[in-house]
């Protein structure tokens, strides 16, 4: 998935003639804190809610003294690169331009969340397992082999490195609800189970609490 394919079909850019009040209203309607400023298909920059609130909202934003940050994503940027740029500039939307620097539209944080919610196996039934280990002990091929030995498939994996430490967290999306044997096998190979989430565990937890409540009431 690339930036061009994620462009919002509902959110439009603003002009320097728009007043701060009009821009704030548009931000409120679309639940964003940033909007691109465009003049004749040329991206001028991105204005933030904070930029507007320190000025007279009755005045056009073209009269403001703004930094006019000009972050953007190229239309061929992969979704991971789009996310990295949004995170780097702490944006709720990022403008998209082509190789001629023509403004094409924006990608919103909501667009990205919606995409991840329906892709990358997030919507597939199964469970989630978070493993903690050291960088030296980490081997995705070994974890995959252990999963295969338990007749299990890793649908997606994400790695988070803890800053200033040698520790990493591996988050796995698995295709099965019952992962107890897989967890035990991982622990035998020196991996620590940080957390696990599944519908099966949720219902088992509810049953345990229900049984405890019934035992208490029967005393």
**Of 65, 88, 116, the domain-final residue:** 116
Does 47 share its domain with 105? yes
- 107-132 pLDDT per residue, tens: 999 889 888 877 766 667 788 999 99
Half-sphere exposure in the Cβ direction for 151 (13 Å, CA)? 2
User: Which has the closest alpha carbon to 38: 6, 10, 16, 11?
Assistant: 16
pLDDT of residue 121: 64
Q: Alpha carbon of 76 to those of 9, 87, 131, 205: distances in Å?
A: 18, 18, 33, 46
Q: How far apart are CA 36 and CA 15, in angstroms?
A: 9
Q: Which residues of the chain have pLDDT under 50?
A: 202-203, 206, 210
pLDDT of residue 67: 66
Does 132 share its domain with 81? no
CATH number for the domain harbouring residue 181: 3.30.70.260
Beta strand pairing call for 154-161 and 93-97: unpaired
Does 131 share its domain with 53? no
- 42-57 pLDDT per residue, tens: 999 999 999 999 999 9
Residue 100 lies in a domain: yes
Does 110 share its domain with 202? no
Q: How far apart are CA 218 and CA 10, in angstroms?
A: 58
Does 97 share its domain with 16? yes
Residues with Cβ < 8 Å from 18, sequence gap 6 or more? 60, 61
Range of the domain at 166: 127-213
Contact 74, 3 (CB under 8 A): yes
**Of 61, 89, 116, the domain-final residue:** 116
**Of 116, 146, 177, the domain-final residue:** 116
pLDDT of residue 202: 44
Does 12 share its domain with 100? yes
| Torsion sign across C-alpha atoms 129, 160, 156, 107 | positive
Residue 121 lies in a domain: no
């Amino acid at each position: 998935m690339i930036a061009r394919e994620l462009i919002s079909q509902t959110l439009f850019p603003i002009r320097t003639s728009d007043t701060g009040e009009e821009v704030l209203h548009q931000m409120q309607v679309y639940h964003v804190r940033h909007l691109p400023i465009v003049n004749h298909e040329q991206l001028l920059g991105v204005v933030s809610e904070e930029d507007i609130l320190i000025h007279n909202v009755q005045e056009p934003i073209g009269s403001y003294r703004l930094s006019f940050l000009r972050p953007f994503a190229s239309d061929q940027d992969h979704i991971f690169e789009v996310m990295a740029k949004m995170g780097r500039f702490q944006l709720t939307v990022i403008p998209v331009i082509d190789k001629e620097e023509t403004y094409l539209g924006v990608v919103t944080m909501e667009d990205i969340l919606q995409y991840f919610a329906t892709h990358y196996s997030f919507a597939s039934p199964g469970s989630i397992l978070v493993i903690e280990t050291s960088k030296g002990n980490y081997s995705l091929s070994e974890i995959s082999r252990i999963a295969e030995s338990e007749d299990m498939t890793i649908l997606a994996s994400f790695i988070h490195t803890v800053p200033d430490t040698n520790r990493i967290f591996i988050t796995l999306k698995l295709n099965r609800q019952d992962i107890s044997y897989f967890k035990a096998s991982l622990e035998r190979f020196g991996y620590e189970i940080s957390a696990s989430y599944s519908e099966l565990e949720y219902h088992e937890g509810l049953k345990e609490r229900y049984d405890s409540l019934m035992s208490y009431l029967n005393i």
